């Protein structure tokens, strides 16, 4: 009896301590990123991160906003985390990723993996052969502040990153204001399914530009206040992501994409 009461008291104390620490504040891009963000407060990334609350005994508050504002607030410590962020070395100056012993990002503790693809007007010669990107006279369009910009700059192509909306970028491509568009593949494919007038004239190049993991990036200020918490968060995300129930959601989303995919 005493042992049971002691355990209950210890759990109550742990809960009160975590509650006293306050909720965790995470921000994310306020655009649809199918199937990870649905634009209405849902999506697979949202579902996965919400599952942190029970095992961490900590409330998690999620706030959508433009990506530039999100990462700026993370760098200032006004947000505890930002998602979904691919790994860029320069971001490590003010944010934390899960890392391996050699300093490389630990893909095992990702939120998800996804790809970028190059889209072009049918009949044009814009292409990516796996090592070289050939572009036309107009720029390659991409979303503002998205990580694919680093890849495109290495290819030494002209970039137009003035727009946050991937649909607007595809429409600019249709009007020949762009030579091509470098977009996250699942979202671009969804837009082409929804807009057959675009699918009639736009196609995806055969090889993906990049395929990489995306993470919940955490603030250095959070790690300073609670040194052990980042590792617990990333380990719990991995555990929840690999759980049978969440894997079933991933398979369902993948089957939906394949059933309606634009080629």
| DSSP for 197-260, written as a single string | HHHTTEEE-SS-SEEEEEEEEEEHHHHHHSTTHHHHHHHHHHHHHTSHHHHHHHHHHHHHHHHH
Q: Are 174 and 23 in contact (CB under 8 A)?
A: no
Q: How far is CA 170 from CA 6, 75, 166, in A?
A: 61, 31, 6
Domains 23-111+213-260 and 115-211 share a fold: yes
Q: Given this model, what pLDDT does residue 257 score?
A: 56
Measured in degrees and rounded to the nearest 5, phi and psi for residue 174 equal -60, -35
Give the DSSP letter of residue 139.
Answer: P
Q: Give me the sign of the Cα torsion angle 35, 41, 47, 50.
A: positive
Q: Given this model, what pLDDT does residue 132 score?
A: 94
Q: Give the CATH superfamily of 115-211.
A: Periplasmic binding protein-like II (3.40.190.10)
Q: What is the pLDDT along the chain (263 residues), one digit of tens a residue?
A: 334 445 444 444 444 444 446 899 999 999 888 899 998 899 999 999 999 999 999 999 999 999 999 999 999 999 999 999 999 899 999 999 999 999 999 999 999 999 999 999 999 999 999 999 998 889 999 999 898 999 999 999 999 999 999 999 999 999 999 999 999 998 999 999 999 999 999 999 999 999 999 999 999 999 999 999 999 999 999 999 999 999 999 888 876 654 444 33
Give CATH for domain 23-111+213-260: 3.40.190.10
Q: Given this model, what pLDDT does residue 252 score?
A: 85
Q: Given this model, what pLDDT does residue 34 score?
A: 85
What does the domain layout of the chain look like in residue ranges? 23-111+213-260, 115-211
Token readout for 107 is 């893909």
Q: Given this model, what pLDDT does residue 194 score?
A: 94
Q: Report the distance separating Cα 83 and Cα 71, nearest Å.
A: 9
Q: Given this model, what pLDDT does residue 145 score?
A: 86
pTM of the model: 0.76
For residue 35, which of 253, 259, 258, 252 has the smallest C-alpha distance?
Answer: 253
Ranges of H-type helices in the chain = 2-20, 44-50, 53-56, 67-75, 148-154, 166-174, 185-194, 196-199, 220-225, 229-241, 244-260
């Amino acid at each position: 009896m005493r042992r049971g009461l002691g355990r209950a008291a210890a759990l109550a104390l742990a809960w009160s301590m975590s509650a006293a620490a306050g909720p965790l504040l995470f921000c994310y891009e306020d655009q649809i990123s199918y199937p990870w963000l649905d634009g209405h407060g849902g999506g697979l990334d949202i579902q996965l991160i919400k599952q942190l609350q029970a095992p961490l005994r900590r409330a998690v508050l999620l706030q959508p906003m433009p990506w530039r504002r999100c990462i700026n607030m993370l760098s200032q410590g006004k947000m505890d985390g930002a998602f979904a962020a691919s790994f860029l070395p320069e971001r490590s100056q003010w944010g934390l990723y899960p890392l391996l012993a050699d300093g490389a990002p630990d893909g095992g503790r990702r939120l998800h993996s996804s790809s970028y693809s190059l889209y072009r007007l049918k009949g044009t010669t814009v292409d990516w052969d796996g090592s070289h990107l050939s572009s036309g006279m107009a720029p390659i369009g991409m979303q503002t502040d998205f990580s694919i910009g680093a890849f495109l700059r290495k290819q030494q192509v002209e970039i137009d990153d003035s727009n946050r909306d991937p649909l607007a970028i595809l429409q600019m491509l249709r009007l020949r204001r762009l030579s091509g568009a470098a977009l996250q593949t699942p979202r671009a494919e969804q837009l082409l399914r929804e807009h057959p007038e675009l699918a009639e004239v736009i196609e995806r190049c055969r090889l993906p530009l990049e395929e990489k993991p995306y993470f919940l990036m955490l603030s250095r200020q959070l790690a300073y206040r609670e040194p052990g918490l980042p590792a617990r968060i990333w380990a719990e995300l991995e555990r929840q992501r690999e759980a049978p129930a969440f894997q079933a959601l991933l398979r369902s989303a993948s089957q939906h994409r394949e059933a309606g995919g634009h080629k």
